[in-house]
Chains A and B, each alone.
Chain A
Amino acid sequence: MKRTDTMKTNSTAKPIVRMEKLNKHFGPLHVLKDVDLAVIPGEVVVIIGASGSGKSTLIRCINGLEEFQQGYLDVDGKVLKPHGKASQALQEIRTEVGMVFQQFNLFPHLSVLENVTLAPRKVRQASREEAMNTAHRLLERVGIADQASKYPAQLSGGQQQRVALARALAMEPRLMLFDEPTSALDPEMIGEVLDAMRELARDGMTMVIVTHEMNFAREVADRVIYIHQGEIIEQGTPDEVFDNPQNERTQSFLSRVLTH
């Protein structure tokens, strides 16, 4: 959320994500090219770009769902090595970084409550009661307290995505990643998910969001990054990027997505 928070404007604040000259290939395909990205605690970064430009790949590198080949990446001081296989650092990063996926990816064999309590219980070793209390509080916060005993298939898309958000928040993440959280939703359900995200931003959560919801981006982002064919070619405040884009590719992308 745009706040005049000194922490964020303070360039000496230690970034929670530090990515330097990151390169990622899928076989012959060079998907991320020398990407530099630093995210400061409390910052909301929105990544935009055309389909196939590497947005998902970029944020999936942050929690190690994709490995990269060259470059430097640390998350909250824990270094992820290139070609990173399972490591202690990776494990620690994943417990501190939450992710919300386009397809929700709720666990269909578990109830809503079990979805939200699974990781706290099995990773953080929280007691059943403790985990349930947290879960109820979070479900309340995202507005689905009354659905706790249902199964994912019994919920609407918007409700499922809010459960997915609560599930990630139950691990008390220091950083939240969102990969097109509303792209799989019917239009009338997009608002409820964006509202929950807005509130999270307002509460000071550090967020990296891939989205095509430009109005939402303009409203919540501290910084907007435009990525084109695996390269960050423009970034700045929403006003800078949306109202006065410098790069002609950004201009043409925005003219395509903003004119409807």
Chain B
Amino acid sequence: MDITFQFDWQAAFASIPYLLKGIPYTLLISFVGLAIGFVIGIIFGLLRISPAFWLRWPAIAYIEIFRGTPVLVQVLFIFYGLPQLLGGPIDAITAGIAAIAVNSGAYISEVVRGGVQSIARGQREAGLSLGLSRVKTFRYVIWPQAFRRMIPALGNQGIISIKDTSLFAVIGVGELVRQGQIYIATTFRALEVYLMVALLYLVITLTLSLALRMLERKGLVGQ
């Protein structure tokens, strides 16, 4: 047995074109899921701070349930469980997007709540005293300031959700990890291939980090 293990660079590089086929799925699920999660987050984050109890409690329930259970369980529930209720199968990609959406939505709700609540009360009062309606005060005064403060936390959530899509290999989504697994099954180069998989995740997440940092810097100009 050869104990001087040779890292096979050639095998590593050779896997890349194959792995790249998974990237569109990783990105599709991440970005569509996060976009929906952002909308959910705005809606439930605001419901969460509503003074009306009957608006607030469904938001609290939603947040606690989807923050308190693993994404993996959520996607298994959606992919295998929901079809029993709906009477028809759910496409794996749709299930993945839905899982990212409801999971990130719960976290983003809390980010939105924190962001909005961090804006001093005087800002709202100034908007209202100028005759802006509550909605316009929110839209032009509170939200732009809150959003800027939310950017770092939103970036974190984006990165977490991108990585979470790797779990969807288990339901057969042809994303990055799944492509890696298939490739390893024929080449047996687990070390090289998983290293390349990890690097590709890093490329995606670092690009996002960088973009967010630029966005943040731009946002700071007006402060």
Contacts and interface: CB of A to CB of B under 8 A. Distances in A.
A125 to B, nearest CB: 12
Interface string B56-98: 0000000000000000000000000000000000000000000
Contact of B125 (A91, A105, A111): A105
Given A86-B134, A108-B145, A122-B136, A98 B223 contact: no
Contacts, number: 71
B151 interface: no
A164 B122 CA distance: 12
A151 B126 contact: no
A123 B136 contact: yes
Interface residues of A, number: 30
A94 B131 contact: yes
Interface in B107-141: 120, 122-123, 125-134, 136, 140-141
A167 interface: yes
A155 interface: no
B172 interface: no
B148 interface: yes
Contacts of B126: 99, 101, 105-107, 164
Nearest to A100: B129
Contact of B130 (A86, A111, A119): A119
Contacts of A108: 145, 222-223
A94 B123 contact: no
Interface string B212-223: 000000000011
Interface residues of B, number: 21
B223 A95 contact: no
A86 B134 CA distance: 9
A97 interface: yes
A164 B222 CA distance: 18
Contact of A122 (B128, B132, B148): B132
B144 interface: yes
Given A103-B122, A108-B145, A109-B144, A119 B222 contact: no
B123 A63 contact: no
Contact of B129 (A65, A103, A109): A65
A106 B130 CA distance: 11
A101 B123 CA distance: 10
Interface centre among B128, B130, B132, B145 (most CB of A within 10 A): B130
B131 A119 contact: yes
Contacts of B120: 105
Contact of A65 (B128, B132, B136): B128
Nearest to A153: B223
A171 B223 contact: no
A251 to B, nearest CB: 34
A113 to B, nearest CB: 12
Given A106-B126, A110-B222, A118-B132, 9 more contacts: A65-B125, A91-B133, A94-B128, A94-B130, A107-B141, A109-B148, A119-B131, A151-B222, A167-B130
Interface of B: 120, 122-123, 125-134, 136, 140-141, 144-145, 148, 222-223
23 contacts: A63-B128, A63-B129, A91-B133, A94-B128, A94-B129, A94-B130, A98-B130, A101-B122, A101-B125, A105-B122, A107-B127, A107-B141, A109-B144, A111-B222, A118-B141, A123-B130, A123-B132, A123-B136, A151-B222, A151-B223, A164-B126, A167-B130, A168-B130
Interface of A: 63-65, 86, 91, 94-99, 101, 103, 105-111, 118-119, 122-123, 151, 153, 164, 167-168, 171
Q: Top 3 nearest A-B pairs by Cβ distance?
A: A95-B131, A105-B126, A119-B130
